[in-house]
Every structure is written in C-alpha cells, then in structure tokens.
Amino acid sequence: DVVMTQTPVSLSVSLGGQTSISCRSSQSLVHSDGNTYLYWYLQKPGQSPQLLIYKVSNRFSGVPDRFSGSGSGTDFTLKISRVEPEDLGVYYCYQGTHYPLTFGSGTKLEIK
Amino acid sequence: EVQLVESGGGLVQPGRSLKLSCAASGFTFSNYYMAWVRQAPKKGLEWVATISTSGSRTYYPDSVKGRFTISRDNAKSSLYLQMNSLKSEDTATYYCARSGPELPGYNYSPNWFAYWGQGTLVTVSS
C-alpha cells in the first residue's frame, strides 16, 4: 500500500500569514497515463471534506488562489497564503493513482 | 447543484449487517464513478469502496473486502453499501462521494472525490 506521510501534524498561523504542508508518498504517484493523481482536501470543523487541489496543482472550482499545490513524484506541498479564519480545519493529502486509495493522516491548522 | 444524501446509519451489534444508501442529484449519475469513504471518531479518512459507472467493476481495501459490497442503481441515481459481519472498528461516519467520469478509451484514474455527502454515522457496539 502507498503510505502518505504528512508533516507537520499541526500548525498555528497568524491571520494574513503564510504556511505550507508537506506530503510524501512511499512510492511514485505517476500513473501509467503520465498524470499524477495527488489531491488536497480540507475538512472544516463539523463538515464533510472538500476538494481544494486536484492533480498536484489545479485548484478546484471556487477555491481561492491563496491555495496552491506543487510537487512531483513522491514529494508534494500545499501552500496557503494570506491565511483567513475560514482556513482552519484539517488538511489531508490523498493519492488516487494506486489501489488501495490512501489518505495522509492529516494536518490540523489553527489560527493564532 | 450536486447533492449527495446518505441514509441508513445507526447502532448495530457486532457480526450483524447494515445497508447504507446515497441519493444523488444535480448531475448525470450514470456517467460517474462513485465511492464510499469513512472516518472513525476523531480519526482520519479511509477509502472504503469504489464502483464503476455500470457497476461491473468494484474495488475495496483489504480491511473491508469480502464483508462490504458497493452497488448502484443508475435508474434511481442511488448508491449503496451493504456491510456484513460488522466489527467495532467499522464504527465511523460513512460518506458517499462522487468520483470522476467514465472516459471510454482513456486509460486514466477516476479516483478522486469531488463532492461529498454530509455522512451517516454507523456505530457497531453490543
């Protein structure tokens, strides 16, 4: 199984600040079709998860450009700039390349 | 607007069965792969099952393989999860999620979860 390792486990950021979350996979996420199926989700308190970034660096519909994804192969990063109160919650990376499909263990973002 | 509404959760004894349902609307259900994802209390997300558009292909992790069965009724725009031989570790909120579209002739992975329902809680306890 592909293990998705997220760091840090938690972080605290000031409003208006910037932060990043790292996600590493135990094997390459490049699919046989050449795409890399790495996604980022945010689960706000008491809500269902919501898709932020698809295929490494593409923002999903309605996601502000404060969120950006990057990386390749086994190493990926989610950056959040100009942090706002509604950004608090747990961020998960997820890989859709290999079965079984697997999520990272999550990074809890708190606002200072 | 895409809507996914789960139902069927509740309290069930270990070893018993339960069937979850998910009613979909706001998109052409038959064109999309569908999935179930669960979240144990205060824990992270775990993929549970995926089904192809026609229902002919299903995928599971080892943790539920042989006990859970995903199915769909395209005429009713509904997704199901039959859970048998339930264990305490199956206690979780179960989310229905829409995956990617069927793209005939394309070798690609439709395995993402663009839209999620609100979840239904399953508690396995005696």
Question: What number is the average pLDDT over the span A70-89?
Answer: 97
Question: What number is the average pLDDT over the span B94-115?
Answer: 92
Residue B12: is its pLDDT beyond 90? yes
Question: What number is the average pLDDT over the span B50-66?
Answer: 97
Contacts of B37 in chain A (CB under 8 A): 49
Would an 8 Å CB–CB cutoff place B104 in contact with chain A? no
- Asked whether A83 and A14 are in contact (CB, 8 A), the reply is yes
Nearest to A48 among B60, B109, B119 (CB): B119
Give the gap in angstroms from C-alpha A93 to the nearest C-alpha of chain B.
10
Would an 8 Å CB–CB cutoff place A40 in contact with chain B? no
How much of chain B exceeds pLDDT 90, in percent?
A: 94
At residue B108 the predicted structure's pLDDT band, cuts being 50, 70 and 90, is confident
DSSP A36-88: B-EEEEEE-TTS--EEEEETTTEEPTT--TTEEEEEETTEEEEEE-S--GGG-
Question: What number is the average pLDDT over the span B86-113?
Answer: 94
- Please tell me the distance from the alpha carbon of residue A98 to that of residue A95, in angstroms, as a whole number: 7
* Chain A 75-94, residues with CB within 8 Å of chain B CB atoms: 90, 92, 94
Residue B107: is its pLDDT beyond 90? no
- Please tell me the distance from the alpha carbon of residue A76 to that of residue B121, in angstroms, as a whole number: 32
Is cis: bond before A100, omega within 30 of 0? yes
- Segment B28-41, tens digit of pLDDT: 999 999 999 999 99
Would an 8 Å CB–CB cutoff place A30 in contact with chain B? no
CB atoms within 10 A of CB B46: 18
Q: Is the dihedral of CA B117, B124, A5, A30 positive or negative?
A: negative
What pLDDT sits at residue B22? Answer: 98
Would an 8 Å CB–CB cutoff place B126 in contact with chain A? no
What pLDDT sits at residue B106? Answer: 85
- Segment A1-37, tens digit of pLDDT: 999 999 999 999 999 999 999 999 999 999 999 999 9
Which backbone phi and psi does B10 adopt, to 5 degrees? Answer: 160, -170
| Identity of the residue numbered B28 | T
